Amino acid sequence: MHDIEWLIIAYFVFELIGLAMAGRAVMTARTPQGAIAWAISLVAFPLLSVPLYLVFGRRRLERNVAARRTVVNAIELVLAELEQRASTHDSETSELRKGYLGPLARLTRFPIVGGNDAQLLIDGEATFEA
């Protein structure tokens, strides 16, 4: 085979790899803009973007997943503390938890607490005075 034939075959191999990686990029990107940018570049310029995606695309996703796990774990600790503190006020909110607000508290993982107050502001002047 001639050298040009090997170059054409190598380009098509890179194009196939780029197509496969474009599918993966669309499924795993954090934002729609990032997914579209990676997909277009991997299909249009596979010789340049395949190595760039291998360096920047995959590792960044793994770092983002690890960072999100860290944040979720920190939030879980705060929520556990809130639930413990709210359980000391059971006498005020026990009736609310038995009723229709119980499932809402379990769904949102935020405790029901008493002592809240709201005032309806009916016009613009009352709103600005508040």
Mean pLDDT score across all residues of the chain:
80
Judge whether 104 lies within some domain: yes
Task: Output the pTM of the full model.
Answer: 0.48
Instruction: Identify the pLDDT of residue 1.
Output: 67
pLDDT digits (tens, 9 = 90+) for 6-17: 889 989 998 999
Nearest Cα neighbor of 53 from 25, 23, 16 is 25
- Residue 114: left if φ>0, alpha if ψ -120 to 50, beta else—which one? beta
Judge whether 116 lies within some domain: no
Judge whether 127 lies within some domain: no
Judge whether 24 lies within some domain: yes
Judge whether 29 lies within some domain: yes
Judge whether 49 lies within some domain: yes
Residue listed under structure tokens 């190598």:
10
Judge whether 118 lies within some domain: no
Q: How many domains are there within the chain?
A: 1
Question: What is the span of the domain harbouring residue 83?
Answer: 3-110
Nearest Cα neighbor of 11 from 38, 39, 47 is 47
**Rounded distance between C-alpha atoms, residue 83 and residue 106, angstroms:** 10
Q: Are 124 and 105 in contact (CB under 8 A)?
A: no
